[in-house]
Each structure stands twice: as C-alpha cells, then as structure tokens.
Amino acid sequence: MNTSSAYAFGSAVIGAVMMLGVSAYAQDTTGAEEAGNGDALGLSTGEVIGAGGDESYTGATHGDWELVCMRAEEGEDPCQMYQLLRDADGNATAEITMFPLPPGEEAVAGATILTPLETLLTAQLVMQVDDGAAKRYPFTFCTAIGCIARVGFTAAEVDAFRGGATATWRLVPVAAPDQTVDLNMSLIGFTAAFTDLTEDLQ
C-alpha cells in the first residue's frame, strides 16, 4: 500500500542538490561611502568576489532529464543529470542527480538522492528498473533540507537504465512505517544525457 500524505518537499528545497552555491551580496551607494570612512580608520570593509547571480543553470534537456551546471571561475562548468521525483499525487517528493565516474572503478556512475527528513532511514532506499531485480541502498547523512543517499551504479545497472522505461525508488515514511511511497524516475532521455556528460569527461 502506498501513501503520499503530506510527504512532499516544500518549494524552498526543490533543486537543493545543485543549488548549494555561494551567494554574493550587492553593495549600495551607502556601503561605498562607509567603505571610504572605514579605510580612513584602518578597517577593512571587504572585497566583493564572484560574479553574483544564480550559481547554477540548465545547460540542456534530454527527455525527462536536465543537465544542471554550476558556474566555475576557471575551466568548464561541471554538469550533472537532474530529475525531480514526484509521488502518485504529483507532489515533488525527492530529487536525484547523476553523473559518470572516471574509468577504472566498479561503479561507472554516481548519484545523489535527496529525500524529505520524514524518511525512515532504517528502511533504506529501494530501486527497481521496470520488472528487474530490486536493490537496496543506505542513506549517507541528513541535513536541514533532507536526507541524502550517495550511491554508485555498475556498468550493468547503467545499461539497464539505458534500455529501461522507468526506475522506481521506494521510500518508507517515519509517520507510517508500514506503508511505502513509490517515486517513478523516468528513463526517457537517459542515454542521451549520460552520453553527453561522458563525452565531457573524456
């Protein structure tokens, strides 16, 4: 039995996995005048760094996946695949970012899944691609915005994503430990998005 009662993110945390950037503060005329006075007293009033504005942006869209990129001061902007996961009622409940890993390791892709704080951690996360075998993943830690699982996918699992239609993530809410919340992760556009990032990695 599935439940989705009040088990959803508020709008303030949507996109939080990729939005944890450094905010820049603007200076007004009054601040500039105070800076002159402060300099006369031998006090530092600071120096504005960074370009300000949003630190992240959507670089491209492949099907149901977005490539969300972070602005870098030097070199190319790093990007990750992103998808917002909703429950059966359409409530934004979790989000996932995925990215290819350098060759030579068992895991060829990494992912970060962010779920609400009301998630029962001991039940872990269960993921299943279409009608394939289900796999369980532990949570890594929780913050003020939610609980995070950092997981790795093998080449076989990435191939399953490429050839699949939907992957289902199953969570258990603390308030109803005998029930589950199923979140569908669309695999439409997965191959194109993952290939795009893999080419950037090379």
Structural domain boundaries enclosing 114: 13-22+53-201
Residues with Cβ < 8 Å from 139, sequence gap 6 or more?
Answer: 115, 119, 121, 124, 125, 147, 148, 149
For the ranges 104-108, 114-118, 151-155, 184-188, the lowest mean pLDDT is seen at 104-108
Q: What is the DSSP letter of 103?
A: T
Residue with the two structure tokens 């001991």: 122
Rama region for 55: left / alpha / beta (φ>0; ψ in -120 to 50; rest): alpha
- 91 in a structural domain: yes
- 40 in a structural domain: no
- 61 in a structural domain: yes
For the ranges 12-26, 50-64, 107-121, the lowest mean pLDDT is seen at 12-26
Total number of domains constituting the chain: 1
- 143 in a structural domain: yes
Summarised one tens digit per residue, pLDDT across range 81-107 is: 999 999 999 999 999 999 999 988 899
% of the chain surpassing 70 pLDDT: 73
pLDDT at 50 over 50: yes
Question: Where is 166: in which H helix or E strand?
Answer: strand 166-171
- 76 in a structural domain: yes
- 43 in a structural domain: no
Summarised one tens digit per residue, pLDDT across range 70-81 is: 888 888 888 999
- 145 in a structural domain: yes
3-state secondary structure at position 17 = helix
Query: What's the pLDDT score for residue 33?
Result: 42
- 34 in a structural domain: no
Angle between helices 190-201 and 155-163 (to 10 degrees): 140
pLDDT band at 38 (very low <50, low <70, confident <90, very high): very low
Query: CATH code at 177?
Result: 2.60.40.1880
Per-residue tokens: 120: 């029962």
